[in-house]
């Protein structure tokens, strides 16, 4: 299956470079390019790509606003968005993820990680640059739990609570399986169940929820 991608960046050279990297892949096709946020939203609605690769800083609408319009809560037919930026700022990361982004990368992440992020977003997974994930989890661990204790849609099982803690500490599915002495498929099933029960869209949102509700501390 060919993954259809829309690339949105206000810098011509960056936009062209990203498009060339993606078009060089045998199973990825860049179907459109946009130089500002309004054009990105219009093209996304018209072309219905599988993934939108969106710069965080653009004229008109920024990347977070574009993400909210294309993939935010309440959007009836959301489109997967991967946000990419030069600026390694925590508020950008959290803003993009809360808006519904399925990936967050720095522009110097390299072609391999870029391609992986696009493929992950296309199948409903999330890929956040590893250095960003580690720092974001450390930031969450240092802050106080939210005063608003959000309850899960359905009560978590004891095993799901264990998996929740490990996800919040940045463990991969393979690491979770090893630590809990369960199969990799079982670990993936528990993570999928957590996504459904707490209404999260990716692993980082699971971590955010765990810290916000005081389930994970230092």
Q: What is the CATH number of the domain that holds 36?
A: 3.40.50.2300
The single-letter DSSP state of residue 24 is: T
Same domain, 117 and 196: no
Residue 165's CB is within 10 A of a number of other CB atoms, namely 17
The reported pLDDT for the residue numbered 113 is 87
Query: Is residue 61, in this structure, part of any structural domain at all?
Result: yes
Shared domain for 69 and 163, answered yes or no, is no
Residue 218 lies in a domain: no
In a domain, 81, yes or no: yes
| Residue-level length of the chain | 218
Per-residue pLDDT at 147 exceeds 60:
no
For the entire predicted model, the pTM comes to 0.73
| SS3 at position 4 | strand
- Give the separation between CA 23 and CA 54, rounded to whole angstroms: 16
Quote the pLDDT of residue 203.
77
Q: Buried b / exposed e across 5-32, counting CB within 10 Å, b at 16+?
A: bbbbbbeeeebeebbebbeebeebebeb
CA 96-79-163 angle, to 5 degrees, is 60
Spatial distance between the Cα atoms of 50 and 25, rounded to a whole number of angstroms = 15
Q: Is residue 154 part of a domain?
A: yes
Q: How many domains does the chain have?
A: 2
Domain-terminating residue out of 89, 117, 138: 138
Whole-number Å distance between alpha carbons of 102 and 82:
6
Q: Burial of 78 by CB count in 10 Å (0-12 exposed, 13-18 middle, 19+ buried)?
A: middle
Q: Pick the closest to residue 205 from 144, 142, 152, 131 (CA basis).
A: 152
Q: Are residues 91 and 166 in the same domain?
A: no
Percent of the residues in the chain that have a pLDDT greater than 90, as a whole number: 49
Residues 119 and 160 in one domain: no
Split at pLDDT 50, 70, 90, the class of 130 is low
Token pair recorded at residue 93 = 């990361």
| Whether 85 and 104 share a structural domain | yes
Q: What CATH number does the domain containing 174 carry?
A: 1.10.10.10
Question: What is the rounded average pLDDT for all residues in the chain?
Answer: 86
Identify the pLDDT of residue 86. 82
Across the chain, where does the E strand assignment appear?
3-8, 28-34, 51-55, 80-85, 103-106, 127-128
Residues 99 and 204 in one domain: no
The dihedral region occupied by 212, where left means phi > 0, alpha psi between -120 and 50, and beta the remainder, is alpha
Give the Cα separation of 81 and 139 in Å (integer): 24
- How far is it, in rounded angstroms, from Cα 78 to Cα 71? 5
Question: What residues are paired with 106 via a beta bridge?
Answer: 85
Confidence at residue 58, expressed as pLDDT on a 0 to 100 scale: 92
Range of the domain at 203: 145-213
pLDDT at position 183: 93
The residue among 138, 172, 195 that closes a domain is 138
- Over residues 18-75, the pLDDT tens digits come to 999 999 999 999 999 999 999 999 999 999 999 999 999 999 999 999 999 999 888 8
Quick: pLDDT tens for 200-211: 877 777 887 888
Query: Which residues on adjacent β-strands are paired with residue 52?
Result: 6, 81
Q: 28 near 5, Cβ under 8 Å?
A: yes
Q: Which of 80, 107, 138 is the last residue of a domain?
A: 138
Kindly state whether residues 77 and 167 are assigned to the same domain. Answer: no
**Both tokens of residue 129?**
């640059």
């Amino acid at each position: 299956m060919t993954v259809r991608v829309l690339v949105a960046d206000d810098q011509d050279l960056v936009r062209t470079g990203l498009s060339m990297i993606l078009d060089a892949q045998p199973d990825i096709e860049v179907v459109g390019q946009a130089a500002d946020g309004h054009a990105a939203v219009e093209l996304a609605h018209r072309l219905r790509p599988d993934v939108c690769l969106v710069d965080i800083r653009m004229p008109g609408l920024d990347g977070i606003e574009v993400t909210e319009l294309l993939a935010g809560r309440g959007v009836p037919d959301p489109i997967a968005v991967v946000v990419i930026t030069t600026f390694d700022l925590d508020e950008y990361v959290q803003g993009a993820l809360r808006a519904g982004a399925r990936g967050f990368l720095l522009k110097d992440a390299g072609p391999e990680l870029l391609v992986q992020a696009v493929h992950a977003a296309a199948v409903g997974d999330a890929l956040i640059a590893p250095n960003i994930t580690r720092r974001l989890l450390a930031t969450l661990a240092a802050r106080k739990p939210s005063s608003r204790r959000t309850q899960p849609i359905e009560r978590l099982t004891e095993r799901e609570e264990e998996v929740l803690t490990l996800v919040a500490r940045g463990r991969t599915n393979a690491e979770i399986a090893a630590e809990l002495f369960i199969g990799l498929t079982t670990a993936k099933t528990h993570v999928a169940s957590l996504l459904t029960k707490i209404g999260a869209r990716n692993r980082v949102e699971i971590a955010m929820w765990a810290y916000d509700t005081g389930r994970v501390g230092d």
